[in-house]
């Protein structure tokens, strides 16, 4: 069966520091991968999605970036965090080659920027 992991679970970082959040998927090949941000426990904002290694689409311009160095690894990064980057970051996957529906979410990373 497929599982999705996110690391770390929680993170407290100072403004201006770098960021690296990791998402890995097991039990499937060539998944579509997604990064969402959820502010204040409500609403999901799609940040990036990827249909393959090295293929990243950005939905919202910002100081975050994403990379997919391996088939089942998706990384969210920032060179300099802003206060507004605080939130709950969710990674999700969906089956390769099919519609984008039926996305399955990871447990999330709670980021607090001070």
Residues near another protein, by CB under 8 A: 6, 34, 41-44, 46, 49, 59, 90, 92, 98-108, 110
Comparison of 53 and 105: residue with beta carbon closer to another protein = 105
User: CB of residue 82 vs another protein: minimum separation in angstroms?
Assistant: 22
Nearest 5°: the CA angle 50, 7, 98 is 25
For residue 60, give both structure tokens.
Answer: 């919202």
Provide the minimum distance between the beta carbon of 71 and another protein in the complex, in angstroms, as a whole number. Answer: 20
d(CA 35, CA 50): 9
Using only C-alpha atoms, the chain has a radius of gyration, in whole angstroms, of 13
CB of 16 to another protein, least distance (A): 27
């Amino acid at each position: 069966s497929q599982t999705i992991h996110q690391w770390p679970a929680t993170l407290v970082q100072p403004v201006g520091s770098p960021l690296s959040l990791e998402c890995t998927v097991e039990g499937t090949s060539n998944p579509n991968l997604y990064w969402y941000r959820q502010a204040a426990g409500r609403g999901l904002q799609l940040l990036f999605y990827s249909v393959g290694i090295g293929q990243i689409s950005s939905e919202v311009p910002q100081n975050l970036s994403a990379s997919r160095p391996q088939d089942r690894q998706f990384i969210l990064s920032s060179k300099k965090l802003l206060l507004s980057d605080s939130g709950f970051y969710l990674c999700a996957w969906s089956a390769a080659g099919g519609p984008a529906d039926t996305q399955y979410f990871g447990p999330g990373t709670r980021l607090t920027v001070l």
